[in-house]
Amino acid sequence: MEIILKSKIKEGLKILYNSEVADDLVQIQETRKEFTGDFTLIVFPLLRFSKNTPEKTGETIGKYLMDTFSSVTGFNVIKGFLNLEISFSWWISCFGEMLGSDDLLEKCRVTAPETILIEYSSPNTNKPLHLGHIRNNLLGFSLYRILRACGHRVIKTNIVNDRGIHICKSMLAWQRFGKGETPAQSGIKGDHLVGKYYVLFEREYRKQADVLIADGMDPVEAKNNAPLLKEAREMLLKWEAGDPETMELWTLMNSWVYEGFNETYKKLGVDFDKIYYESDTYKTGRDLVYKALQKDLLYENGDSSIWVDLSEEGLDRKLLLRSDGTAVYMTQDIGTAVLRHEEFNFDRCVYVVGNEQNYHFQVLKAILKKMDYSWSGGLFHFSYGMVELPEGRMKSREGVVVDADDIIAEMIETASELSRELGKLSDFPEEEKDEIYRKIGLAALKYFILKVDPKKNMTFNPDESIDFNGNTGPFIQYTYARIRSVFRKAEETGITCSRNVSMTVSCGTKEIQLIKLLRRFSFTVTEAAKTYSPALVANYCYDLAREYNQFYHDFTILGETDKSVRDLRMGLSELTGRVLNTGMYLLGIEMPERM
């Protein structure tokens, strides 16, 4: 309709003001909820042609449309905005087209698809995934599905931080205090076991530092000279030198962690097409740094460390290789980016990383540009806010975190308890009940996180997330299950629904409001892809579920005696169910057929 209206308005401007008007000056948007109308023309850009006030110009254009375009049934002008009312018959026709289509995402497809890499998760192998990783993984996976729905070729990637001093801390603590403990022996999940020794290292290291401070040493000097930290640094040098014993321990403990990570990823329902490891990519990055140094793109300090000067770019100097030749995070990110472009020739590479790394990615992009990689302009940092608990921020070193496995288990258990209280699944087989509990618990977790604007910090509240009546995943799931129940009852009673909607069917504003909302689905997905915001899809799904529930309570569906009206209401139910199912799929959320 926006396209048709734009064409009709341009025709009118030619007749009314003898003016050819550029497309971008005819600005049409959906009418805001507080005003009467369906579409709104912004009149201000047209005043140069009318030579009149906004109100008079709007009145003139509105009358012209009423006289020449039967689908416009009314209008009102508020200041410089012309609000147009569209006929019920056009909305019914629009609904019939949507209902008859099997591809709800057809209108989202771009004409020039791109190859897009999305990096998410990026765990360290010294600790299990936690609540912060959950937000990261859910955002990355949802972005993948949304961008793919719009026709792009999307590759899901992960970079595992499997080297560095933090890894050596876990290894050293296990050597010192582990007594050969393994996941199989202890019954502790592999990533949790390694994380246990990382926390233990920090505790013992702080004790040593406190002793040095008590003996009169400066606190900063004490922290740098604690024996455990010195040993961890020595272990890192051995690792980078390829010491066989160190490498063997590193391989063993990483294998425990990877097995644990994979189990968590499976629970979350996320996966990857390609996994990179920092232990490989830092070598490529190091080689690229040396080559860039030979081209005088970088410079060497007096202590043999290698730096880049980005002062001309409005940034500062950045270390790329330490004086002993060991690499920093930036080094491996350079290597990873180059390897990815060589392998996939991407148009865009999206890094799903928290906002505390904003400066890091500014620098990475500037370095790659300085190193003459023209594709560096396609790097994009998807910067998202931190997630906390009501109790406050998590601290991995102190062990004050909520492990991803624990929170997933808690959400499923809470879903089980609430469902038992409601008693709606009492007659279901135990296996089916357990599967529904899992879907509800994960929907509560995923939706609560994804409905928040990614740029904002957020507090995850498990109790709020699983409310069956609020802006939650379980509420949307329940709406979908309600729709499926309508069609099961229809099948049981022999009622069928035709997809051919009568153009003369009697309907009211409630049905039209639902149609208008259904029509917005493809626009919402398109906008979510452009702005990298799964929150748009999440909140759309809630608005649609809420609107449908009001419709469901206000009208009889299967009991309606007028077949054309019943077909319309069943069609609205069927399309709403499909849209909700598709929208939640884009968020990585499964929908139970009954609850």
Q: Which residues pair with 130 in a beta bridge?
A: 403
Task: Report the C-alpha gap between 60 and 80 in whole angstroms.
Answer: 12
Give the position of tokens 């005043």: 47
pLDDT at position 590, please? 97
pLDDT at position 391, please? 66
First to last CA, the chain: 38
Task: Report the C-alpha gap between 298 and 371 in whole angstroms.
Answer: 9
Question: Which domains are delineated in the chain?
Answer: 2-86 (3.30.1360.70), 115-398 (3.40.50.620), 448-586 (1.10.730.10)
pLDDT at position 400, please? 53
pLDDT at position 164, please? 85
Which residues, 6+ apart, have CB-to-CB distance to 151 below 8 Å?
A: 108, 109, 110, 113
pLDDT at position 401, please? 65
Task: Report the C-alpha gap between 355 and 349 in whole angstroms.
Answer: 17
pLDDT at position 40, please? 94
Task: Report the C-alpha gap between 595 and 591 in whole angstroms.
Answer: 10
Contact 160, 191 (CB under 8 A): no
Packing angle of the helix pair 244-268, 131-149 (nearest 10 deg): 60
pLDDT at position 411, please? 92
Helix (H, G, I), strand (E, B) or coil at 43: coil
pLDDT at position 163, please? 87
Task: Report the C-alpha gap between 585 and 145 in whole angstroms.
Answer: 8
Q: Which residues pair with 352 in a beta bridge?
A: 382
Task: Report the C-alpha gap between 141 and 133 in whole angstroms.
Answer: 12
pLDDT at position 588, please? 97
Contact 121, 134 (CB under 8 A): no
Contact 449, 134 (CB under 8 A): yes
**C-alpha gyration radius of the chain:** 30
Helix (H, G, I), strand (E, B) or coil at 563: helix
pLDDT at position 424, please? 72
Give the β-pairing of 153-160 and 115-119.
parallel
pLDDT at position 399, please? 46
Q: What is the pLDDT along the chain (595 residues), one digit of tens a residue?
A: 888 999 999 999 999 988 888 988 999 998 988 888 889 999 999 998 999 999 999 999 999 999 999 899 999 999 889 999 998 888 888 898 899 888 999 999 999 999 999 999 999 999 999 999 999 999 999 999 999 999 999 999 999 999 888 899 999 999 999 999 999 999 999 999 999 999 999 999 999 999 999 999 999 999 999 999 999 999 998 998 899 999 999 999 999 999 999 999 999 999 999 999 999 999 999 999 999 999 999 999 989 999 999 999 999 999 999 888 878 889 999 999 999 999 999 999 999 999 999 999 999 999 999 999 999 999 999 999 998 877 654 444 444 568 899 999 999 999 998 888 877 777 888 888 899 999 999 999 999 999 999 999 998 888 888 878 889 999 999 999 999 999 999 999 988 877 777 777 878 888 889 999 999 999 999 999 999 999 999 999 999 999 999 999 999 999 888 888 899 999 999 999 999 999 999 999 999 998 8
Amino acid residing at 89: S
pLDDT at position 284, please? 95
- Can you give the length of the chain in residues? 595
Closest of 478, 493, 498, 489 to residue 570, by C-alpha: 498
Q: Which tokens hold the place of 81?
A: 């905005």
Which residues, 6+ apart, have CB-to-CB distance to 179 below 8 Å?
A: none
Which residues, 6+ apart, have CB-to-CB distance to 515 below 8 Å?
A: 91, 92, 94, 95, 572
Helix (H, G, I), strand (E, B) or coil at 109: coil
Chain Cα centroid distance, residue 456: 13
Amino acid residing at 270: V
- Cα separation values, 487 from 163, 567, 573, Å: 55, 12, 9
Q: Which tokens hold the place of 419?
A: 């469902």
Contact 404, 268 (CB under 8 A): yes
Closest of 116, 182, 180, 190 to residue 146, by C-alpha: 116
